[in-house]
Amino acid sequence: MTTILHLDASGRHTGSHSRALTQMVIDHLDSPNVEIIRRDLAEPKPELVDEAWIFSNFTPEADRTDGQKAHLAASDELVAELQKADIIVLGVPIYNFSVPAAFKAWIDLVARAGVTFQYTETGPQGLLQDKRAIVVHTSGGTPVGSDIDYASDYTRHVLGFLGITDVQTVAADGLMGDESAGIAKAKAQIEALKLDARTEEPV
């Protein structure tokens, strides 16, 4: 059984290209031997890390109060989804050259020292290894992979920091110029994806 975590970060539901494309990825990879975990970061939005969360997170697990455990409950649930998943399909549209705020909030909740990464004598080490990520980036005008794209490299870096180094990108950019061409390019990349074999970077 393969478990896929399907995560969308777009603030839009109606007319969202990233949501439509992540669903195409799911439909393309789905089979009787696949379990899908669905996580929509738009509703409800992930909580923001605050002082109480930080103190709770850095309190040793055995010493946490019931209140501190409650502060970390949402984060624990998001981390458990990542830990269970074999493949993570992420819809990350480019907003103002970077990632949506809801996606950044999700990252802050799942990047936890001693849980999803650890510090070693040779530097940080990700603990979410042997997983694969397929990231759908959409953009109206920012070319994916360009000097003004601060979303795709950041997303890849954070996933790698957590141990997820097998990252494939599906890009639909230039949608405000030639929408049909951008979507067609992304669809071709999706059709090249395989469920049971790790492929070369489509972009």
Residue 139 annotated as lining a ligand binding site: yes
Other beta carbons less than 10 A from residue 163's beta carbon: 18
Beta bridge partners of 6: 38, 89
Residue 13 annotated as lining a ligand binding site: no
Residue 17 annotated as lining a ligand binding site: yes
Q: Please give the angle made by the CA atoms of 93, 156 and 196, to the nearest 5 degrees.
A: 95
Tell me how far apart the alpha carbons of residues 10 and 101 are, in angstroms, rounded to a whole number: 10
Residue 140 annotated as lining a ligand binding site: yes
Tell me how far apart the alpha carbons of residues 123 and 104 are, in angstroms, rounded to a whole number: 23
Residue 180 annotated as lining a ligand binding site: no
**18 contacts: CB under 8 Å, gap ≥ 6:** 8, 9, 10, 91, 92, 93, 136, 137, 138, 172
Is the Cβ–Cβ distance between 92 and 135 less than 8 Å?
A: yes
Which residue, among 55, 59, 150, 41, has the nearest Cα to 105 in the 3D structure?
41
Q: Residues annotated as binding site?
A: 10, 16-18, 138-141
Q: Residues annotated as binding site for FMN?
A: 10, 16-18, 138-141
